[in-house]
Structure 1
Amino acid sequence: MSTLSEKMRLIREVESKSREEFGKEIGVPKRTIEGIENEGRVPRGDVVEKVAARWPRYAFWLITGNTDLPFHMSPDRSTGTVLRVFENVSNLHPGSDDLMTRPEWFGKVQFIQRSDEKNDLYALIETIQPELMGIKQCIFIGSGMNLCSDGSGKNRLKDLASYLIQKGRADLIKTSELKICLPGDINTLFETKQIEESALQVPDLGKAEWLKKLYTNFTAWKMEGESYEPKFTWQDLK
C-alpha cells in the first residue's frame, strides 16, 4: 500500500498542482510539501486533515487506501469503473415510453445472471454519456426476464427486443453481452444502485453444463430477437 507521502503526491499530480500551488490550496509552506515528497516525511495530522478537507472525494482513500465509489474515490485513474443506475424500470415493452433517456444515447446492453440462480436475470443498458470520474450511467431493467423460461420470462425478453427494434436500436440485440455475477454483488446493486464493472464476469462455459445451455439460450435471443424461443428450459438446466 502507498505511504501517506506517496498518496499526497498522487493527489497533487492528478489535480495538476505545482508544489507551491498545492501548498497554497491547503495553507502550508511549499517546503513542507517538498519535505513530504522528496524526503518521504510522514505528513502531520493537521496537513492530512487539510488535504482531506480540500479534496473530500479522496479523504477515505487517503486514510484507508480503500474506495467506496462514487463518493469516495482514488485519484489513481487505473482503478475500476462503476456502473451507476440513474433510470430504473421493471420492463421495457413495445410502445413503452418509460425512459427519459433517448434511444440514440443507448450504448450497450449487458445481461446479468446470478451465479447461483438460473432464474434471476437482469439487464443494464449503458449510455454513451462520457464516463465521469470512473462512473458510467446506466438504465436498469430489474425483473421478469428469464433465459430458461418458456412463459412470461421469455416474453419479457421478446418485449425488450421489440422495444429496441421499434426505437431503431436493433443493433444492440446482436451486440449484447451476458455476464455472471455473485449474489452479494447483485444485492449491492439493489441496495446502492451501482455495481463495480469488474463484478460482471464473462461466463466460464467449461465450468458447468448449465452455463453452456444458458449461453445457448442467450445466443438464440441475440439471433432471433422478438421471435426468441429458448433452446433449453429450466428443467434442462438441472
Structure 2
Amino acid sequence: MHDFVFPRSSDTLNALSQGLIVSCQAPVESPLHEPSVIAAIAHASILNGAVGVRIDTPAHIKAVREKVTLPIIGLWKQQIPGYEVYITPQFHHAQAIAIAGADIIAIDATLRDRPDGETLQTLISRIHDELGKPVMADVDTIENALSAAAAGADILGTTLYGYTAATQHLIPPGFDLLTQIVEQLNVPAICEGGIASPQMAKQALELGAYAVVVGTAITGIDINVKAYGAVFPNSHQK
C-alpha cells in the first residue's frame, strides 16, 4: 500500500482509505429516485460501516448532506447532445454539486470532447482553485488514467471501464486497469464498477485499491428485483 500525501482535503481523502464507499443512486423513473429516499439509503450505508457515499445530482447530495457527515463523492450526470462525456461534464455542474455539499467532485476524465471545449486540466484546476475540492477522475483506460494524473486528479476511479467506446468489449470490474494504475502511478486508485460480492471487494483491496465503490449489488433494488423476477412465471415485471 502506498503512503499517499494529499495536497488538499487530506482528512476527507484519508477517511476513505481501505474502506467501502456505497453508490446510492436510482434510475430516474424509479420510485427510489427521491432525495429523501436516497438520503435514507446513504444514512443506512454509513450506519452499517461505509466510509463514504457516491451521490448523483445536487438535490440528492443536499438531502444526503443533511443526514451524513462522512465524505460524499458528488457527481451530476448530464446527457448533452453531441457529446459522450456525461459525468459532471462542465464546471458549472461541479460548482452546483459542491454548493450542495459534495466533499469530492467526480468527473469524466476521459479525453473525449467536452461541451465547452475546456481541457481536462483546466476543469480540474478550476475545481481545485475555485471550489477548493479534490477531484475523483473516472477513467476507462490506463492512457486516460495517466493523463488525468498529469492533469492533477487527486483520485483515480476505474468507473468507466467497460462503459466507453474504447472499452465496451470489456466487462467490469476493471481489475486489470486497477493493477496498471497501482503499478504505474502514485495516485490512489478506487475500484468502482462490477463489484458484486464482498469477495470481489476484498480482491480489489488485495490488488491495491485505495477504496472500493459498490453500487448496484447493494442499492440497485430495481435491477436486482428485475433479475430475480425474470425466473418467476408469476412475475409482475413491466
Common fold by TM > 0.5: no
Instruction: Name the TM-score, length of structure 1 as normaliser.
Output: 0.25
**Larger % of strand: which?**
1
Instruction: Name the TM-score, length of structure 2 as normaliser.
Output: 0.25
**Larger % of helix: which?**
1
Larger Rg: 1
